[in-house]
Amino acid sequence: MDKYKILICGKQNIIIDDFFHHLSDDFDLLTTSFRYEDIVKHVNLFHPDVFILCLNGETKDDLNVMVELKRIFTRESIFVFIAGSKEDCDFFRNTVVYMAEESFEKPISVSNIRNRINDYMDEKKSVPLMKPNFRLNSKRSKKKTGASTCLSLMTIPSCSKLLKSIFTRNTMWLQP
């Protein structure tokens, strides 16, 4: 079986060191800086399955890089995991909504991290990936919503949740 490729980034060097000391036999690991251009270059060269951000007191400005990377990670089917203290993980989830698939909050054992990554990836890789198929119907619906615009959504549930948070409440959601 091929190893999952994991690109690791962040300020928490202790967690990054632990990944390399304890999990390098289980996964192909590579680190990158927290610069947008550097992360994009590493994604294009390494083609990771997972991106892990090791948190250590990042600010909202620091996490703007992650907001900019959302589109790239989605397009490349890269799953984002976060690791750090409970406070840092909560701050990330509240700042960069719907991006982290999993979080590893300290303290956590190496075997637990290994098992959770493998279980998550095995489950996700066993389901065939569907390309999102969005279609905005420009016709107005007058049946249930008056003059609201109808959005026909045919995609995976996690994308639906994200889109619902973006659009206004005047949008009517239809199931395919």
The model's pLDDT over 16-50, given as tens digits with 9 standing for 90+, comes to: 999 999 999 999 999 999 999 999 999 999 999 99
Which CATH class, in words, describes the domain spanning 5-126?
A: alpha beta
User: Would you place residue 115 in the very low, low, confident or very high pLDDT band (cuts 50, 70, 90)?
Assistant: very high
pTM of the model: 0.71
Predicted confidence (pLDDT) at residue 133 exceeds the cutoff of 80: no
DSSP the chain: -PPPEEEEEES-HHHHHHHHHHHTTTSEEEE--S-HHHHHHHHHHH--SEEEEE-SS--HHHHHHHHHHHHHHHHTT-EEEEEE-HHHHHHHHHHSTT-EEEEEESS--HHHHHHHHHHHHHHHHHSPP---EEEEEEEEP-SSSTTPEEEEEES-HHHHHHHHHHS-TTPEEE--
